[in-house]
Amino acid sequence: MKKTANSFIPVAVLIIVYVLSGCQYDYDSPLPGTLDVRLKSQVTDTSLFNPQNQNNFVLKVNTVEAIRSDFVRATVYEDPSSIKRSPRTYNVYDVRARDSSLVIGESPLPPGEYISVNLEIVPGPSVVRDGYRIINVKRVAGFSPILRFQKPFSVEEQGTTTIVVTVDLDSTLVPGVDFASKEDIYYFKPYYYISSINNH
């Protein structure tokens, strides 16, 4: 019996070594960085941002994507704790939009070089002024909700890359008149651009 028990010792040692080797962390794998995408509103009449005026115009953000240099797509969720992307609306007259602090996407991403940010943004049906005046919004012919910003940026290991997408409301909401109803309307002619990219 003693001889039989001793014969199991080398086998047990091999099993332990195998298990421990499988549990080792791959230290060559880089840690992720964070991509932070924000919406900024630009308008001449800054009083529109006053919360007491109760102005409202929402943009519904359906998707935010980052495109790597090898053309692999990465979904950017609403916040780091999200496990999937859900459509969400944002008021462009929110004071946070004025201050470039309105986050529309924030996710950990593999470090590396990226070539583009793609968004899908749909305008709300109306603009609310002073809490009670409702002005309908009409999309112009050929409107597409897909926005592709082909501007290179990098995500660094354990760093944060902040991209600010600015919407120029003076150019985007064009006053007009509906020919059928003779009512005032806004024509939606989207004018977006990336105003800044910062790594920190």
> Tokens at residue 95, please?
């004071």
pLDDT at 10: 53
Name the CA radius of gyration of the chain, rounded: 26
pLDDT (average), residues 34-63: 95
Distance set, CA 73 to CA 57, 122, 159 (Å): 30, 21, 20
Indicate left, alpha or beta for 151 from its phi (over 0: left) and psi (-120 to 50: alpha). beta
Q: Give domain limits for the chain.
A: 28-199
pLDDT (average), residues 22-50: 83
pLDDT at position 16 over 50: no
pLDDT at 83: 84
First CA to last CA distance, the chain: 66
CB-based contacts of 86, cutoff 8 Å, min separation 6: 78
pLDDT tens sequence across 73-107: 999 999 888 888 899 999 999 999 999 999 999 99
pLDDT tens sequence across 146-192: 999 999 999 999 999 999 999 999 999 999 999 888 999 999 999 99
Q: Which residue has the higher pLDDT, 29 or 4?
A: 29
pTM equals 0.83
